[in-house]
Amino acid sequence: MSLELLRDKAGERRVVRSRLAVVSVVLILVFGAILGRVGYLQIAQYEQLTARSQDNRVRLAPVDATRGLILDRAGRTLAENRPAFSLTIVPEQVADMDALLSNLDALIDISEAERAAFAEARARSRSFQEIPLRLQLREETVAELAINRHRFPGVEVRPRLARHYPYGRVGAHVVGYVGRINERELRQGDPNQYRSTSLTGKTGVERFYEPRLQGELGIEHIETNALGRAIATLDRRPPTPGEDVQLTLDIELQRLAEETLGDYRGAIVALDPRNGEVLALASQPRFDPNTLAGGIDQDTLNALNRDVTQPLFNRAIAGRYPPGSIVKPFLGLAATAEGYINPNETLYCDGTFELPDVSRVWRDWKPEGHGHVDLTQSVAQSCDIYFYELANDMGIDAMHEWMSRFGYGQPTGIDLPSERSGVMPSRTWKRNTLGEPWYTGETINTGIGQGFTLATPIQMATSTALIANRGQPVRPQLLAKPEALSLGPTIEPIELAEESHWQHAWDGMIETVHGSRGTARRLGEDLDFRMAGKTGTAQVVGIAQDEEYDEETLDARFHDHALFTAFAPVDAPRIAVAVVVENGGSGSQTAAPMAKTVVEAWLSRTDG
């Protein structure tokens, strides 16, 4: 306080005031310079620049570049450019606009909205400018107009290229769609590159690989007369077409995966574990990119956005689900590596688990329990009690560290926009997001992939590939170009002291499908190759302690999510899949058969 009183207040004020005086002088100088420059242009250069403005004859017009194609791994076209025709009218060449419009109406049925938009555009344009009446003409209409051309002076049919997606809904979330560039996107990019008419990728590959696909605008130098009317094209800097983008996706496998999901909401991801190539990335429900590309009407877009099933949302990379029991092989591996468990020792499971000083009882999904189970059997039968014990021994810190090493809680780095990272909870995470300390009970829930844990289907598939590779991580990759693969995975390789630890994780997953008590044993019955898998059934709502989960009485929105992860064939894995079916009930009944369909189809199509 005494220091404050000793401060030389007047002196400090003088410091700032003298600087403010300097600023005032600078202000006068700078504004003087601007005024001087403008004055120089407007007085001294007036004659010369007026002359230049009067015979300002050459105007620049952008010429759109042809957008690159998007192809699947077999070279099938997923996105292409199709000629489309728009109908425009030059008002000054029309003697009687009303008569013309009613004549046209007889031919092409002009809507009220089109009429209004045309009238508005006409009001703000010059009479020699072409005004669009309709952007997309049907081919029959184009032919008819061509025949009747003499009846419609001033009417022009203009060709342009429109984006088209031959497979429609199939792979729509991956491929994405293009739309008219908006003001915000315009300001983000290089303003010299984009001009008013350009289309830009809005989602998916169209968005992620926009810089490759878009190419470079050309410029046309148009000679105009003093009123601005175009007379001739003097010169043209041709546009550079965009590059084609080939994907690793197999559109037929993609179609199969989507159709397998059927009316369920959910996602299926299929990867090649050897290199991370994405073979299928299905998300249901779907949307039709052709209705979105190049001018969708507001009502359709609003309806899509308001749809509670969120068809525009790519569940495969952005849907976050409790992973449930599919975390078990991972936790078993981690606990073995860290010495928390001996994988060969058995534990007696009586169907309940209790913590000292906690009144709550944790139950197994099988009320009577599994009896004596070792690690392999606990994975195969998906014994919850084994993993409650394991989680309790391991603690949340070690679980968080290991699950993060497997890639949970972080983006996989797939080449698509809007990937979500999911949640792998930790003490720090909980303190930061909920402001609460970590409770032991939450550790127990984390042991079976419930509680706060959330994972995306792409994470589940990528981590399954990691197990299939015995610790060698991959980065999921849609671009079928080897140089882009040099990006590398986002996680480090996992090296275990004993290679045999991997085999325990494998054994559990193989037993799941091929063992006599495995949760997905029905799958193994008629397989002509060996597959490793893990079922998961994730609770959507908390079921109270003594309540039974009863599908009949529960609203469908609260039914369990069904999950399944798998890789095959066991002797040389060529495919890793993750299936998530929202409210699908049990993993073994709903998700596992879907995974089988996809894996079988892929393996039967590719040999080695």
Partner 1 sequence: MDNLNWSTVNVNEAARRASGGLLQRMLRLDGLLVGLLLLNAALGLLVLYSAFGGRIEPIQSHLLRLGVGFFLMMIIAQIPPWRLAPMAPWLFGVGALMLAAVLVIGEFGGGARRWLDLGVVGFQPAELMKVALPMMLAWLLAQRPLPASANQTLLAIGVIVLPVAMIGVQPDLGTAILVGTAGAAVLFLAGVAWRLIVALGVLLLAAAPLLWIFGMQDYQRNRVLTFLDPERDPLGAGYNIIQAQIAIGSGGVFGKGWMNGTQAHLDFIPEQHTDFVFAVLAEELGLLGVIILLSLYGLIIARSLWIAREAQDNFSRLLAGALALTFFVYCSINMGMVAGLLPVVGLPLPLVSYGGSSMVTLLAGFGILMSIHSHRRMWSA
Q: Which of 105, 109, 235, 307 binds partner 1 (CB under 8 A)?
A: 235
Closest separation in Å from C-beta 188 to partner 1: 4
Angle formed by the axes of helices 592-605 and 251-261, to 10°?
Answer: 160
The H or E element containing residue 534 is: strand 532-538
567 closest CA partner among 605, 513, 528: 513
* Stretch near partner 1 under the rule CB under 8 A, chosen from 2-10, 261-269, 370-378, 538-546: 2-10
183 is an interface residue for partner 1 by CB under 8 A? yes
| Alpha-carbon span 387 to 389, nearest angstrom | 5
Q: Which of 24, 136, 233, 606 binds partner 1 (CB under 8 A)?
A: 24
**Binding status of residue 31 toward partner 1 by CB under 8 A:** yes
Which among 325, 463, 586, 588 is annotated as catalytic?
Answer: 325
228 lines the binding site for partner 1 (CB under 8 A): yes
In whole angstroms, the minimum distance from the beta carbon of 35 to partner 1 comes to 6
325 is catalytic: yes
DSSP 442: H
Question: Should residue 92 be labelled a site residue for partner 1 when binding is judged by CB under 8 A?
Answer: no
Task: Return the residue of 39, 153, 166, 493 that touches partner 1, per CB under 8 A.
Answer: 39
Shortest reach from residue 38's CB to partner 1, in Å: 5
- Region 202-221 residues binding partner 1, contact defined as CB under 8 A: 210-211, 219, 221
Tell me the backbone φ, ψ of residue 219, rounded to 5 degrees.
-130, 135
322: three-class secondary structure by DSSP: coil
The stretch near partner 1 (CB under 8 A) out of 149-157, 170-178, 185-193, 531-539 is 185-193
| Residue whose token pair is 């029959």 | 140
Q: In degrees to the nearest 10, what's the CA dihedral of 67, 215, 69, 81? A: 10
Task: Respond yes or no on whether the N-terminal peptide bond of residue 569 is cis (omega within 30° of 0).
Answer: yes
- Check: CB of residue 526 under 8 Å from CB of residue 597: no
Based on the shown chain and the rule CB under 8 A, indicate whether residue 1 belongs to the binding site for partner 1.
yes
Residue-wise DSSP of 114-127: HHHHHHHHHHTS-T
The DSSP code sequence of 235-290 is EEEPPBPPPPEEBS--HHHHHHHHHHHTTS-EEEEEE-TTT-BEEEEEEES---HH
- Positions in 115-144 near partner 1 (CB under 8 A): 124
Q: Shortest CA distance to 175 belongs to which of 200, 202, 205?
A: 205
Q: Nearer to partner 1 by C-beta: 23 or 308?
A: 23
Instruction: Report in angstroms how near the CB of residue 52 gets to partner 1 at its nearest.
Output: 5
Question: Taking the complex as a whole, how short is the minimal distance between the CB of residue 340 and partner 1, in angstroms?
Answer: 34
For the four alpha carbons of 245, 246, 252 and 257, in that order, the dihedral sign comes to negative
Q: Does residue 38 interact with partner 1 by CB under 8 A?
A: yes
48 lies in the site for partner 1, by CB under 8 A:
yes
Q: Which residues are catalytic?
A: 325
Residues that bind partner 1 (CB under 8 A): 1, 4, 7-9, 11-13, 15-20, 23-24, 27, 30-31, 33-35, 37-39, 41-43, 45-46, 48-50, 52-54, 56, 58-60, 124, 183-185, 187-194, 200, 210-211, 219, 221, 224, 228, 235, 237, 417
